[in-house]
Amino acid sequence: MSDEGDQLRHGLALEPWSRACDRAREFIDSPREKLALSLFETLAPDAYLASRDRLRGSWAHALSEGGRGAIVAVPQEQMGDLREHLRTFFSDPIVWRNLPSWVLLYALRQASSRVQVDHLPAPNHENHITGKLLEAIGMACETWSLIVDEGLAANNDRVVIEQIDLSILGGEQATGGDFGLIIDQSALSEPQTDEWQKPMKPIVPFIFQAKRFTGKHADVSQRHKIRGFQRDLLGRNPCASAYIFYENGDHRLNTTLPPLVKSIAKVQSARTTDPRQDSSDLASFILPELWDPYGAPWAEDSQDALEMVYAQAAAGQLSSLAVVTSEAGRAAIYERQLAQLAGRDKQIVEAT
């Protein structure tokens, strides 16, 4: 057991802190991640740059006091590209306001590169790719949590992903790749704040409309005969809504991009959009939204989060709904709330 004097931040002693930094750098230097980031930079340089800038731009809200001081002290032109940011700066857990943010960053990066390299080259349907992405996020959360388990345990924190059973809603469920992802931080230990920072958001729900594409443009013209264009429907959601684009075609591709996320607000046309413009990778999209008080809307509790997710989504629209949480078994709470929500909506429909 280390002495208290050896404790750094987030419950990490010197040795596990050093090991965590090393593991993050080893991951960024691994053959798979080097290939994934190299393809990302080559095939979508604007999105690659935007991903770096989104992460770097989150410094005021997501980083610790020491992290903010360190990032401000180094001019942007000297900090390099996305890969260098991930390798030399964000790899240090103590630059973040809490340890789960570090875990989630590298878990999302690992999941994204695994899908990019292993699952996008061969033809697949959106639902298959989305399933592999959520599976990869779950495995990666476990991997990165184990690396800093001492620090997480010291604060009674965890990072796990659980699937919510959508059969509760009844009827035929969607076979597409659209999915919801709820980041539930409500049970996390509250990090220290100062006059520059707001408290962390307790729960942040996201909806992702999945689209395969090849070439320069993706088709976003899906239209419901009653509710209208999917783009317009997504735009009316009270929670953060975005397209997630999978570069995947009807024939095997030699090179592929990571899943690219583009906020619905950036999709100007109801018919086509360029997935490489105004987009970022999944990690760079989600992490800043968890902390920025002016970013993604947040929910007070699980019921509020589900109402935000299903405010504009039909009961069977989402093929998957998952919650990233610090409390194992949290999905059961959401399932109970979802059953109540479904029952309430059924009563409303029957009464009209």
Residue 189: both structure tokens together = 């230990």
Distance CA 169, CA 55 (A): 36
Quote the mean pLDDT of the chain.
Answer: 88
Band (pLDDT 50/70/90 cuts) for residue 194 is low
Band (pLDDT 50/70/90 cuts) for residue 175 is low
Domain boundaries, given as residue ranges, for the chain: 8-351
pLDDT digits (tens, 9 = 90+) for 222-250: 766 555 566 667 777 899 999 999 999 99
Average pLDDT over residues 42-67: 92
Which three-class secondary structure state does DSSP give residue 291? helix
Strand partners, 240: 206
Percent of the chain predicted with pLDDT > 90? 62
Residue 4: pLDDT over 50: no
Burial class (CB in 10 A: 0-12, 13-18, 19+), 116: buried
Burial class (CB in 10 A: 0-12, 13-18, 19+), 93: buried
Band (pLDDT 50/70/90 cuts) for residue 349 is very low
pLDDT digits (tens, 9 = 90+) for 72-103: 887 767 778 999 999 999 999 999 989 999 99
Question: How crowded is the C-beta side of 292, counted as CA atoms within 13 Å?
Answer: 17
Alpha carbon of residue 320 to chain centroid: 14
Strands of 203-213's sheet, edge to edge? 160-163, 320-325, 179-184, 203-213, 240-247, 260-263, 280-281
**Cβ-based neighbours of 63, under 8 Å, separated by 6 or more:** 71, 95, 96, 97
DSSP result, 273-323:
E-TTSS-EEHHHHHHHHHH-TTSS--BSSHHHHHHHHTSSS-TTT-SEEEE
Specify the pLDDT at position 148.
96
Specify the pLDDT at position 196.
64
Given the structure tokens 């959601």, which residue do they identify?
237
Distance CA 260, CA 276 (A): 7
Band (pLDDT 50/70/90 cuts) for residue 55 is very high
pTM over 0.95: no
User: Is the CB of residue 218 less than 8 Å from the CB of residue 275?
Assistant: yes
Distance CA 313, CA 317 (A): 6
Closest alpha carbon to 87 in 179, 166, 146, 25 = 25
Specify the pLDDT at position 2.
41
Average pLDDT over residues 307-332: 86
Percent of the chain predicted with pLDDT > 70? 87
Specify the pLDDT at position 1.
37
Specify the pLDDT at position 174.
56
DSSP result, 144-180:
HHHHTHHHHHHTT---EEEE--GGGG-SPPP-SS-EE
Among 10-14, 27-31, 204-208, which stretch is predicted with the lowest mean pLDDT? 10-14
Distance CA 246, CA 172 (A): 25
Average pLDDT over residues 260-268: 94
Specify the pLDDT at position 142.
97
Band (pLDDT 50/70/90 cuts) for residue 3 is very low
